[in-house]
Structure 1
Amino acid sequence: MSRTTAPGPTAALLRHFADLRDGTHGDAASRQGKERHFAATVALLDPYARQVLGEFDADLLLGTGTVTATGLRRTPDGGLDAVWALSWPDQRAAGIAPITLRAFYGAGFHHPHLQGATVGEWPLNAFTDEQAAQELPTLRAIAAADLHNLVFQRDFRIVPATVDGASR
């Protein structure tokens, strides 16, 4: 079966691999140009990251959570990142990390990635709102894996919907 365009996740990987092949990120070859793209990507990703964390708050934390966002910032290694986090009383009392979505472009990296507080890296190559919207499944997967790992760091009782019986 031949396709003229790849679906969202596959298209994102193809952009990622093309960047590796070509030594670029989008149309930028310089670090400065790549950082400009990353800054624009953070702005595009912001409403989708907030949407995903809002879904988790409503569905699993029963509205007890608080979403925070750092905006674009310089990291100690000279790279850039932006963090969206969902914290809630039971998580804070347990002394564990919040559910985290992090976009980062490390100083020694060729291009940006996504990660959670407890889960690995996904390529981040979104240059349009449509491409940023296609990251929703990835953002949801990162948030779900993060919450799963946080439960294993403590126990299921950190998830209000489980304790309150909403999971049935």
Structure 2
Amino acid sequence: MDQKVIIIHAKHYISMTESSNATRIRRLFNEVWTDGNLDVVDEIVADEFVFTRGGEIQTGGVELYKSLVRSTREMFPDMEYTLDDVLVGEDGNAVTVRWTVTATHEGEYMGIEPTHQTIEMEGLELNKFEDGRLVETCTHPHWEGFLEDVGVLPLSSTEP
């Protein structure tokens, strides 16, 4: 069965069969981030890959991408991603993803010792492809959800 994505045109939304770059993004989330298969990174990520999170820009190409996966999987070895939305730009080279990750906090993360708590965090990611290779990712995780799940930041309150 074909996956469906929304292609964004100036003022139109057109549903169509999965674009090749949307398929590549799905492979990265499913095979790399969730399953830990780093060989897929060599197929999809460009040598000039750039990563941005929280305003911090990192360069390092394929090895940077693999390093990000390794370090994240050390902290959350059972992480599982769900792609809630995959939106493809008109030229097919921009792929925006709204994701949810569920995992157990098993390693130090952001200075927070392992809590062994199950976390659920949402995020939004903007990806850019050139010639079928991922050249840039700008990710915006919802950190507050993670911090609340591990008991560091109580977001909800019953007091007025």
Q: TM-score over 0.5 for the alignment?
A: no
Q: Normalising by structure 1, what TM-score?
A: 0.34
**Structure number having the greater strand percentage:** 2
**Structure number having the greater helix percentage:** 1
| Structure possessing the higher relative contact order (Cα contacts under 8 Å, 6 or more residues apart) | 1
Q: Normalising by structure 2, what TM-score?
A: 0.35
